[in-house]
Amino acid sequence: MAPPLLLLQDITLTLGGKPLLDGAGFGVSAGERICLVGRNGSGKSTLLRIASGDLLPDDGTCFLQPGTSVRTLPQEPDLSGFATTLDYVRAGMAPGDPEHRAALLLGELGLTGAEDPASLSGGEARRCALARALAPEPDLLLLDEPTNHLDMPTIEWLERELLSLSSAMVIISHDRRLLETLSRSVVWLDRGTTRRLDQGFARFESWREEVLEQETRDAHKLDRQIAREEDWMRYGVTARRKRNVRRVGELAALRQARREAVRTPGGLKMQASEDGLSGKLVAVAEQVRKAYGSRVIVDGLDLRLLRGDRLGIVGANGAGKSTLLRLLTGQDQPDSGEIRVGTALSTVTLDQQRRALDPARTLADTLTGGGGDMVQVGTEKRHVVGYMKDFLFRPEQARTPVGMLSGGERGRLMLACALARPSNLLVLDEPTNDLDLETLDLLQEMLDDYSGTVLLVSHDRDFLDRVATSVLVAEGDGRWVEYAGGYSDMLAQRGGVAPAGRGRRPGTETQAPAQKRPDKGPARKLSYKDQHALDRLPGQIAALEDEIGRLRTVLSDGALYARDPAAFTAATGQLERAEAELTAAEERWLELEMLRETLGSS
């Protein structure tokens, strides 16, 4: 067996008095593609920095095969000190590397090479750092969140480029589709230690559940052993003193082992505070046009957004997604055409730039608004420390400045602030940036249970598949087209052809990666979420019809109003709500049936 290119063994690192890494490690052989996964704050980026040599551990072995070329993509690349983007990329190349690849990759990523690094946006800096990492075609690539701040066309180009390389790779990412496409092994960093699965990411989540179930069984066995020892302590026959002291020590050791057996942090609790029902029509756009000078953002848009819809908005960076959000929520007015915003809307917006977060304020002050120790969550008040724990923050972080939090922690803080406010319209602009996979799962489950309307801008294809009921896609020249279903459903309706990106080389469309869903094949049926809704809706409709019948029977009593005006008013209101819910459920069922028939015939 060939020796590994990189080997980390028994890596230990302590930060702030608490071990972050405790015996972690993994090996990477030539050509291997490994994804490194774990919760935000578990130490994934730290372990990758140790692997790259940027950080020294407290203890452990770090071995790199002599002569191995390594390139790293950090989460926050530093481009200072370079006159142009081309100079930055070339500075990462060694003598003998093909120099033409620097300009080639920058062109593929929508850059000319002449840009001033100081003037780049976050997404442009990310693309430039990607070009620097990929240009030499190194033996080993260490990629930390390579899809952050990239648009959909660039992510799909990146997949194809990485698949074409023979380099070994270690990838940290929250993009499930990218991990499923690229990975051949998974390293799970959990509670300071690592476990390895020599299968792709598609198998990871079921394997993780098996591991946690085994831990639970082991803890149960340990509980029984402790119970036997405690019984001996209380009722056993007195023996020699030394033996007694030894057994007391063994019992203490067992109790310590039990405390450490399952040390999973408290689970994230995510629930949106909901306001009353909005009007049935949330927004209606008719022949809307919006342009800035000669640049047309929206041209001839017709759209109906109904209560309960989850509309995903997809397009390249600069296509006008944020402008479209402002138009649909009434914050901006079209140049021509009409947008009618619905009634009784309570809107909460999650901004991808996180401008609402003041880096100088503490975490507690951000949640409470500086008003003491209580957070207003919907109609109730909660202590700030208890609410922080719901979002996996430790009590000692209450006085931590927001500027000191990691990207994932800032993402969770934005969610905590947004979900505390009552709403019936959630506007989510890139909510998945920097969030770990478990948090994304819980965010998706929360949106499934949310009875309001969701406007979602995202470049995460898997998240769109799980959440969106329809997708609005930028087709170029200000034209937007709505497709039923999620991202994969949109691709199926387009014949597998993905929308074009801005700033790319000539050619208006790109073929979607052939391996985007290796475990499922091309989407020819409803997504799991839509199928679940379709299965559930007939029972829901029947229950609503029964409730409407019951309420009509109550109101048929001509003496009810004179006898009990409050009961008459309550029954009338309940009947109106039930009839509105029945109409929405019937429309949703019809929409899903039509979608199922469309996909079945495609």
Reply yes or no on whether the pLDDT at 60 is more than 50: yes
pLDDT value at residue 586: 78
Reply yes or no on whether the pLDDT at 304 is more than 90: yes
* Cβ-contact 25, 59 below 8 angstroms: no
pLDDT value at residue 380: 84
Reply yes or no on whether the pLDDT at 264 is more than 50: no
Residue 267 has phi, psi (to 5 degrees) of: -70, 150
- Tokens 């602030």 found at: 417
Q: Do domains 6-68+139-205 and 281-511 have the same CATH topology?
A: yes
Report pTM: 0.70
pLDDT value at residue 240: 44
- What the block records as the tokens of 534 is 């379709």
> What does the domain layout of the chain look like in residue ranges?
6-68+139-205, 281-511, 528-601
Q: What is the pLDDT of residues 145-185, one digit of tens each?
A: 998 878 888 888 999 999 999 999 999 998 999 999 999 99
Q: Is the dihedral of CA 114, 116, 121, 122 positive or negative?
A: positive
Q: What is the pLDDT of residues 39-53, one digit of tens each?
A: 877 889 999 999 999
CATH of domain 6-68+139-205: 3.40.50.300
Residue 320's CB is within 10 A of a number of other CB atoms, namely 22
In terms of CATH, what superfamily is 281-511? Answer: P-loop containing nucleotide triphosphate hydrolases (3.40.50.300)
The CA angle 60-66-72, to the nearest 5 degrees, is: 70
pLDDT value at residue 141: 96
Architecture of the domain delimited by 528-601? Orthogonal Bundle (1.10)
What's the rounded Cα separation, in Å, for the pair 225 and 230?
9
